[in-house]
Amino acid sequence: MMSPSPTRIVLITGANKGIGFEIARQCGAAGFQVIVSGRDDGRVAASAAKLRKEGIDVEPLVMDVSDPQSVDLTARTFSRMKKELDVLVNNAGIVVKGDKALSREEETILRQTLETNSFGPLRVTKAFLPFMKKPSRIIMISSGAGSMSDEVQTWSPAYAASKTLLNALTRQLADELKNNGISVNAVCPGWVRTDMGGRMASRSVSKGAETPVWLATEAPSSLTGKIFRDKKEIRW
């Protein structure tokens, strides 16, 4: 049986760069032990090394969220670490080259996008649920592109559809886990200057990480099943 650790622990997928890395940095500065995860061993190790130079307590964990076997193997590896999670941030996501129009795209583009952006967060949540403390928090990094109430954004429709599904999964998981003391919320970080967002994006990486870090550290634990932007609930 695992003994609870006094140090808060957060696991962040896709944490080797961009918003995920910044969430790791800010959570580490707030006193969390940070577990940075990604599918590339070298990049994960490099991101962990950068965080250590800032005095952050960090451990690398290689995992490909699009691969069920990788997720299961990583969960077994994590079980041997005898740790419990206060926060799980499902941040890993992709935009597939050629994602321009659903009516003309190869079906593989949608399948590949859903595998990482929708099924990935679900399978990671399921695999690491046994290690979540009660109470604890699960945070999904979504996008305004997945909104059902805003104007349709067609720049990457498979990506947008994957985030719509992620929002729906957030609500369903929140309802399932509410009696276990586990909150599940999603975040629209806005258009952020990352490899995915591009240099012309209106928001800094620090701003993009602000609301996920708030949900991980300061937000009332009673909040669940909601989608946030700039620390405020939004419609989706």
Q: What is the pLDDT of residue 74?
A: 98
Of residues 159, 186, 205, 228, which has the active-site annotation? Answer: 159
Q: What is the pLDDT of residue 2?
A: 46
Tell me the backbone φ, ψ of residue 39, rounded to 5 degrees: -90, -15
Partners of residue 12 on adjacent β-strands: 36, 89
Q: What is the pLDDT of residue 151?
A: 76
For the cut 70, the answer to whether the pLDDT of residue 4 exceeds it is no
What percentage of the chain has pLDDT greater than the value 70? 90
Model pLDDT for residues 128-143, shown as the tens digit of each residue: 999 999 999 999 999 8
Query: Angle, nearest 10°, between helix axes 107-117 and 157-177?
Result: 30
159 is catalytic: yes
Taking residues 154-173, what's their average pLDDT?
A: 93
Write down all domains in the chain, each with its CATH number in brackets.
9-233 (3.40.50.720)
